[in-house]
């Protein structure tokens, strides 16, 4: 697996690129299928305690993760665009005390690569550098978990 990270300082957008040793259809399915997604949709030391998926354009999603400290973190959003095996676009909000925080827009693309699948993850509309850095750390762990959840013989 190869890893690239690029940040755009002017807008605080975040782009992560990973190449997974698995077919594009499988990597896409790990995002599209709620059962598969529940295996990896969290940072390494967190537990996914609840989630809901309506994987279609206009469908909502949410997940609640629990840290080792016992603190719970809720995130949710809406799927904007889905092209099977190619593209997923969705909004992302952190929710605290029942109130949605500012929306970011996440775009995930899936492309064939000589090593398997090139996944490019872009998060736009991040408000500041500190939030971008936190998001970068968290999403890198999510993608590490995705890689670890892929079947050995892809």
The enclosing domain of 13 has a CATH number of 3.30.530.20
Q: Per the domain annotation, does 28 fall within a domain?
A: yes
Q: 92 CB contacts (<8 Å, ≥6 apart)?
A: 75, 76, 77, 103, 104, 105, 106, 123
Q: Per the domain annotation, does 17 fall within a domain?
A: yes
Q: What is the pTM of this model?
A: 0.90
Q: Per the domain annotation, does 154 fall within a domain?
A: no
pLDDT at 152: 76
The alpha carbon of 40 is separated from its chain's Cα centroid by a whole number of angstroms, namely: 10
CA distances from residue 49 to 2, 109, 110, 134 in whole angstroms, order as listed: 30, 27, 28, 21
Domain count for the chain: 1
Q: Per the domain annotation, does 124 fall within a domain?
A: yes
Q: Please determine, for residue 111, whether its predicted confidence score (pLDDT) is greater than 80.
A: yes
pLDDT at 119: 99
Q: Per the domain annotation, does 83 fall within a domain?
A: yes
**Domain extent at residue 112:** 2-149
| pLDDT, tens digit (0-9, with 9 covering 90-100), for 112-142 | 999 999 999 999 998 989 999 999 999 999 9
Q: Per the domain annotation, does 119 fall within a domain?
A: yes
Q: How big is the CA angle at 23 (ends 21 and 25), to the nearest 5 degrees?
A: 140
| pLDDT, tens digit (0-9, with 9 covering 90-100), for 1-40 | 666 665 554 679 999 999 999 999 999 999 999 999 999 9
Q: Per the domain annotation, does 137 fall within a domain?
A: yes
pLDDT at 3: 67
| pLDDT, tens digit (0-9, with 9 covering 90-100), for 32-86 | 999 999 999 999 999 999 999 999 999 999 999 999 999 999 999 999 999 999 9
Q: 134 CB contacts (<8 Å, ≥6 apart)?
A: none
């Amino acid at each position: 697996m190869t890893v690239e990270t690029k940040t755009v300082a002017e807008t605080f957008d975040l782009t992560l690129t990973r190449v997974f040793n698995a077919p594009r259809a499988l990597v896409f399915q790990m995002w599209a299928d709620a059962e598969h997604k529940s295996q990896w949709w969290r940072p390494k030391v967190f537990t996914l305690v609840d989630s809901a998926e309506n994987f279609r354009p206009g469908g909502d999603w949410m997940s609640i993760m629990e840290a080792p400290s016992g603190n719970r973190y809720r995130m949710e959003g809406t799927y904007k665009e889905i092209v099977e095996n190619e593209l997923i676009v969705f909004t992302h909000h952190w929710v605290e005390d029942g109130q949605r925080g500012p929306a970011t827009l996440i775009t995930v693309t899936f492309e064939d690569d000589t090593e398997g699948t090139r996944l490019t993850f872009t998060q736009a509309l991040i408000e500041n550098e500190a939030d971008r850095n936190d998001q970068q750390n968290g999403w890198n762990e999510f993608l590490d978990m995705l890689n670890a959840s892929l079947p050995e013989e892809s």
